[in-house]
Structure 1
C-alpha cells in the first residue's frame, strides 16, 4: 500500500546518530521548541547543569505512561535519559523524585495544550462533517495512591452507607475529536467537584465551526447556551432527559422545533439567561427498539439532515472506548497512579494524556496514508506494535531496520478493524456471583 510509519522511520536516523532510538523517535513527534517554550514560560528551565535536566524529565513523565509496568529507574535507563557523567554514571532514586518535584505540572499542561491543538487541527482537514469539526465531551475517574496529601486534595467516593472509598479519586473530563479520538483538551481535579463545572471550564476551548456532542447528564440551558452564543458556529447535540418538557412549534412528526423554559434557579444564578430558548428535536429509534429524542442547536433541516445528526450521536458512543484505551491498555489496568502528591498526580495525568495522543497521532498518520478512517484502526494493536518496535530498534543492527519496517508495513492489515463495532446488547446490571453456595431453606411442616 505504500504505507509509512512516520515516527518509526526516524529510528534509522537515530541509530545512525547514536542517540536512544525510543527518545529520538518520540522527540520528532513533539517539537523540542514546544518543550523549551513550555519550560521557559513556566519558569522551569534548568539553569544549572544537571544529569537529569528539565527537558529530559518531561520525556520521563510521558514515558512513565508508555512503560507503565516498569519502575521509574528502569524507564530512565531504558530511554537513556541521564546525561553522560564519567565520574558517576548512576543516579539515585531520590534524585528522580526530586527532579519530578522541581518540574511540577505546569510545563506538561502547557505542552499538552500546544501539541493537542496542533495535532487535532492537522488531522481535522478533510474529516469535517458539513463544515463542522466534531467533538464529544465525556468524563471518567482515576484512582490515586492513598497518601494523606492526595486524600485531602482529591477526596474519595462516599457511599450511602457512610463508607468512604479505599483510595482517593480524581475526576477527569475530556474534549475528544470524533474523527481521530485525539484528545483536544482536558480538565481534571477533585472528585467532589460536579462534572458540570468542569464542562463549563472546557467551553472556552471548543473551536469555532464545530459540533460538540454531550451525554444527557450535561443537559443544562446554562451550559449549552454558553457554548452556542460565545464563539462562531459552535453547535451542540444532546439526548433529551425523560422528564424534559417543552412546547412544540411546528407539526412535523419526528423533526420539529420546540421552545423550553429556563428554570428559575438557573436564571437566578445567571440573570443573563433568557426566559425561554428554542431548539430542534429529532425523534429516533435505537437498534434495540428504544425511542430517543435528540436536541440540537442545528436548526436548518436542509443543511443538517436529521438522519446525519442521528449518526453523529451514534459516533459519540465510540468515544467512551478512549477511556478504556487510556486506563486499561495504555496504563495496563494499573488503575492506581504512581504519584504520592497532588502536584505530581497532575503531572502524571498530563503525561498519560500526552502519551495517549502520541499513539493516536501515529494512528491518524497511518490512516491518512492508507486512506481509511483513523477509527478503523485498532488502538491495542497499534500500541503493541509501537512498544515492540521501540524495544527492538534500540538494540537491532542498523542494517536490519529497513527490512523490519517493510515487514511492519505489510502487516498493517492487522491494525484494521473489520467493521465498526457497536454495543451488541443493552446495558444491564449483572448480579455478582455468591461467595458461598446458597442452601435451600426447608419449609416447616
Structure 2
C-alpha cells in the first residue's frame, strides 16, 4: 500500500525491480472471496459440475472487463489466468466464455455491488463527516449499449428532431455517490424512457441515516424531498430552487429565510399523503462569476449550519460530475458503448463496471488517508493504470519462468483462432445517422 501511495501522490517512475509482486489477496482485502461465494449462492448461480469458468471466476471476469476495456474477453481471460487449469485444454474458447457469462447472469454482480458499496462507504466514513453527517450527491446519467434488437426493445433510445431515433439504445442510471470519496453508494438503472424522478424515488428509502444529500434542481419535488426527510433519522437535503419556484417567507433575514411552499393539486392527487404545504430554509448563494441562486435545505439550525456551510456543501456536488467522466471515459477509454449484445449481459456488465470503479476509488481513499491528503488530490487515471498494471503483473509473476509458457500458449491460441468463427453468424454493416447539432430550419421559397 505504501508503494501505491507513493505512485499516486509523487510523480515517480515505476520501479519494477523494487515493486513487490501483486497478489490477488490485495484486492481480496477489499473484495473478499466470501462475498463472491455468498453472491453466487444467494443468486442461485453456483455450478453443480466442475467447470473451467465457474460462476465465481465469471464474477472476477466481469469486473476485469471494465478495467481492460480495449482488450477482448478472451485476452482478459488468458492475460489474468481467470480460467481454472485443465490438463486437456490450454485455453478457453470464446463460446465457452459466452456460455459461462450467460449461466452466471447479472444477479451475483448486483448482490456483490450492494454488499461491497455498503461496506466500503462505511469504512472511512468517520474521516469525511461534515458536522457529524455523511455527504452524498444524487444525479443521473446515460450510457450507450450495443445496437442489438434485444437491447433496442428493452432499453429504447433517445428521440431527436424530425422523428429521428437515436443511433444506439441507451440505459439511464441515477446514482447516490459519496461526495468525499466518489464511491457509488447505490444506483438504479434501466430503460432510457424511465424518468430520473422514478429512479430517485426508488433510491430514497435506501439513503443512509445521518446524511445530507445534495441534488440538482431537476429533482426538486415535494414528494421526493419530503419522503427523504420523513423516511429516516436525520436525513437532509440541499437543492437549488427553480426560477419559477414560489414561496411564502415565514422568518429570517434577506439571504437566509424560512419559507413555506404549497404542494400542487396534481402532486397531491398522485401522492395523497403529501401535506398541503412544506417548509424549507432558503439560502442565497453567489458564485465566483456573480451568478445568484437560492438553495433550499432542510438544515434549519442556523447556529450549527451557517449559510456559508450550506453553500460550500452544494459547491462540492459538482465534483460528482467527474465520477461519470471517470467511469464512461477514463475506464471505458472513450468507448461509450457497452460490449454486451443481450439485455442480461448489459445489466451484468454495468454492475461489474460499478464494482470496478468503486475498487479504484476505494484504493484512492486508502492511499489518501495514509498520505494525509484528500481523495480529490489524487489522479484517478494514475490509480486506474496502477491497478491495471498490478493485476497484469500478478498474473505474470505467480511463478518464476512463466513468460515462455505464456508465449507458447499465445502461439497455440493463434493457431486455433481461424476455427472459432461461428457458422451462420451475420455481421451486417449499417450506417449510423449523425445527430444534428442544431435544429434544421426549412425555408419556404417562391419558385414562381
**How does the TM-score come out when normalised to structure 2?**
0.84
1:198-347 alignment runs, 5 A limit: 198-347=199-348
Deviations 1:126-184 (A, max 9, x none): 21101110000011100000100000000000123200001100001110001100000
In structure 2, what is the Cα distance between the partners aligned to 1:343 and 1:177?
28
1:31-430 alignment runs, 5 A limit: 31-395=32-396
* Contact 2:80/2:392 (8 A) holds in 1: no
In structure 2, what is the Cα distance between the partners aligned to 1:130 and 1:376?
22
In structure 1, what is the Cα distance between the partners aligned to 2:48 and 2:398?
37
In structure 2, what is the Cα distance between the partners aligned to 1:43 and 1:390?
28
For the residue of structure 2 that corresponds to 1:280, the secondary structure is: strand
In structure 2, what is the Cα distance between the partners aligned to 1:40 and 1:388?
31
In structure 1, what is the Cα distance between the partners aligned to 2:78 and 2:396?
14
Q: Report the alpha carbon displacement of residue 323 of structure 1 after superposing the two structures with TM.
A: 0.2
Q: Report the alpha carbon displacement of residue 251 of structure 1 after superposing the two structures with TM.
A: 4.4
In structure 1, what is the Cα distance between the partners aligned to 2:221 and 2:317?
19
* Contact 2:80/2:395 (8 A) holds in 1: no
Q: Report the alpha carbon displacement of residue 87 of structure 1 after superposing the two structures with TM.
A: 1.4
* Contact 1:22/1:79 (8 A) holds in 2: no
Q: What is residue 4 of structure 2 aligned with on the other side? A: 5
In structure 1, what is the Cα distance between the partners aligned to 2:272 and 2:306?
34
Q: Report the alpha carbon displacement of residue 116 of structure 1 after superposing the two structures with TM.
A: 0.5
* Contact 1:133/1:211 (8 A) holds in 2: yes
Q: Report the alpha carbon displacement of residue 385 of structure 1 after superposing the two structures with TM.
A: 2.2
For the residue of structure 2 that corresponds to 1:141, the secondary structure is: strand
* Contact 1:124/1:179 (8 A) holds in 2: no
* Contact 1:221/1:262 (8 A) holds in 2: yes
Residues 85, 283 of structure 1: alpha-carbon distance in 2 compared, 3 angstrom cutoff: same
For the residue of structure 2 that corresponds to 1:334, the secondary structure is: coil
User: Structure 1 unaligned runs (5+)?
Assistant: 400-430, 434-445
Q: Report the alpha carbon displacement of residue 118 of structure 1 after superposing the two structures with TM.
A: 0.3
* Contact 1:123/1:180 (8 A) holds in 2: no
In structure 2, what is the Cα distance between the partners aligned to 1:372 and 1:210?
23
**How does the TM-score come out when normalised to structure 1?**
0.85
For the residue of structure 2 that corresponds to 1:95, the secondary structure is: helix
Matched, 1:27 2:28: yes
User: Structure 2 unaligned runs (5+)?
Assistant: 8-15, 401-435, 439-448
* Contact 1:151/1:168 (8 A) holds in 2: yes
Count of residue pairs brought into register by the alignment: 393
Q: Report the alpha carbon displacement of residue 388 of structure 1 after superposing the two structures with TM.
A: 2.6
Residues 86, 236 of structure 1: alpha-carbon distance in 2 compared, 3 angstrom cutoff: same
* Contact 1:5/1:365 (8 A) holds in 2: no
Deviations 1:4-54 (A, max 9, x none): 539x9xx99xx98xxxx5645433320111111111111111111101111
* Contact 2:70/2:333 (8 A) holds in 1: yes
* Contact 1:143/1:337 (8 A) holds in 2: yes
For the residue of structure 2 that corresponds to 1:372, the secondary structure is: coil
RMSD: 2.2
- Say which is worse superposed, 60-69 or 22-31, in terms of deviation: 22-31
In structure 1, what is the Cα distance between the partners aligned to 2:393 and 2:116?
27
In structure 1, what is the Cα distance between the partners aligned to 2:97 and 2:25?
21
For the residue of structure 2 that corresponds to 1:335, the secondary structure is: coil
Q: Report the alpha carbon displacement of residue 90 of structure 1 after superposing the two structures with TM.
A: 2.3
* Contact 2:134/2:210 (8 A) holds in 1: yes
